[in-house]
Structure 1
Amino acid sequence: MAEQKSEKHNCLLPLSRIKTIMKSSPDVTHVAQESLFVITKATELFVQDLAKTIHKKSGSGKSVSYKDLSTLVDEEENMQFLQDIIPKKILAKDYLDKQNNTESDDDIVMLD
């Protein structure tokens, strides 16, 4: 039992927040303490690995920018599941131009 308590204090992320996120799924009714700990540690390790990878690829010294993160997510196949959460930034003008071009392409009717 003492080992389990020391494991809880070994987490950097708050267990209560992770549990809240897990329980926000309609499929989850109960979260066992063991699974909560494992999910929390896995999340911590993922975030640490992500930060180290971005830092290596950015080569900018002490800091990492959002652009570095979004570029990594866009280029790395195993990170593409994050594209909806971490999209590349674009200017509003560029987005509107892209939308207008898409709409004008939809208006074109091909006649044979």
Structure 2
Amino acid sequence: MADKGDLGSTLPLSRVKTIMKSSPDVSSISQEALFMTGRATELFVQNLARVSLEQGGNKNSLEYKDLAEVVNSVELLQFLQDIIPKKIKAMEYLKMMQKMQDEDS
């Protein structure tokens, strides 16, 4: 991870550029925009991890369930619910699907 004094990016900027270019609305990307998008992404991920670690039960490690809980409880992060959903057991999922089918009938 980069030091606070180091302005270098830890994310591969070529990957960030590929993701940015996947949008049909993007035709060209300046180096400054690429760098700032990469840096903003790093800061976002660091903040998400820090908040999840603080709210999680274990202060020494970060688990998926901690991330999913923060995503589901913090309104600003709910756009990530499709990417980081809460884990449920297969039996619970099947019951949910059955209930939805019963309601539709």
Q: TM-score, normalised by structure 2?
A: 0.90
Task: For 1:103, give the aligned amino acid.
Answer: Q
Q: Return the offset for 1:40.
A: 0.5
Partner of 2:41: 43
Q: Return the offset for 1:105.
A: 1.6
Task: Output the CA distance in 1 between the equivalents of 2:36 and 2:84.
Answer: 25
Gaps of 5+ in 2: 1-5
SS at match of 2:42: helix
SS at match of 1:87: coil
In terms of fraction of residues, the more helix-rich structure is 1
Q: Return the offset for 1:94.
A: 1.1
Task: For 1:84, give the aligned amino acid.
Answer: D
Percentage identity across paired residues of the two chains: 51
Partner of 2:3: none
Task: For 2:13, give the aligned amino acid.
Answer: L
SS at match of 1:13: coil
Partner of 1:3: none
**CA RMSD across the alignment:** 1.3
Q: TM-score, normalised by structure 1?
A: 0.84
Q: Return the offset for 1:101.
A: 1.2
Q: Return the offset for 1:59.
A: 3.9
SS at match of 1:51: helix
Task: For 2:63, give the aligned amino acid.
Answer: S
How many correspondences in the alignment? 100
Partner of 1:73: 71
- Residue among 68, 83, 86 paired with 2:84: 86
Runs of 4+ in 1 over 3 A off after TM superposition: none
Q: Return the offset for 1:86.
A: 0.5
Residue 10 of structure 2 is aligned to residue 21 of structure 1: no
Offset from partner CA, 1:23-74 (integer Å, 9 cap, x none): 0111111111010001001001101111111111114121111111101000
